[in-house]
Structure 1
Amino acid sequence: MNTKFTPYYAVIFTSIQTETIEGYTEMAQQMEDLAKKQAGFIGIESARNTVGITVSYWKSLEAIQQWKQHADHVIAQQKGIKDWYTYYNVRICKVEREYDFSKK
């Protein structure tokens, strides 16, 4: 993932799932594959234990809004509210600077 340019935006999606997760993994993969095709998409990172955290990275607020309104994504959002989540939170942040470390 090339996020070495700034500024860009991070959408942080934090969630707690219900006990009913049938179809969730497949839908999550479909949404990731679809997001990667959207204008302005930069990358995605995700982890799930008790709490799930997915961070997607975007070039602009407009790109984020277009993704939020994408017809297939809207269906996934509705399914999530109806069946898969007991709680979720979305935070949209502007990334002004970043740095990293990698042991070789």
Structure 2
Amino acid sequence: MYSATFTFAPGNYDDAFHRLDAIIADVARGIPGYLGEEAWESPATGLVSTVYYWESLQALQQLMQHPAHLAAKQQQAQWIKGYHVVIAQVLRAHGDGGIAHPLSAAAGAAGAATEVPSHHP
């Protein structure tokens, strides 16, 4: 399992941004291996961070290589003030079931841990 964390400083969004953002979201959710996402905003810095969860690196790469995602990368400077991406392998996920989380379904029952086999793509 993998996560892709996209942290950015919001800028000025126009109609083209909203259209492209909606297309990318639909594409991501339609890729087999997409597990979910969550987003956070820091009141102190104004930065936004969105974490996408993927069953495999190959699933994540499908989104990264999609024409809409490539177009967004080329145009990002007109909409955001800076960004940072972290791709990470998820080794374990667990919780008490008290909050909804994109990986809760993968864990099965409340409180169960999601163990991820250790292997390299």
Provide TM-score, normalisation by structure 1. Answer: 0.78
Gaps of 5+ in 1: 1-7
**C-alpha RMSD of the superposition:** 1.8
Query: Aligned pair count?
Result: 94
1:40 pairs with 2:25? no
Specify every segment of 5 or more residues in structure 2 that has no aligned partner in the other structure, as ranges. Answer: 100-121
Aligned counterparts of 1:31 and 1:44: Cα–Cα separation in 2: 13
Between structure 1 and structure 2, the one with the greater Rg is 2
Q: Using the alignment, how far apart are the partners of 1:26 and 1:9 within structure 2?
A: 27
Structure with the bigger RCO (C-alpha within 8 Å, sep 6+) is 1
- Same amino acid, percent of matched pairs: 30
Partner residue, 1:67:
63
User: Normalising to structure 2: TM-score of the pair?
Assistant: 0.68
Query: Can you list the C-alpha shifts for 1:28-77, whole angstroms capped at 9, x where unaligned?
Result: 23321210011221111123451111110111112212210101111122
CA distance in 2, matches of 1:40, 1:92: 15
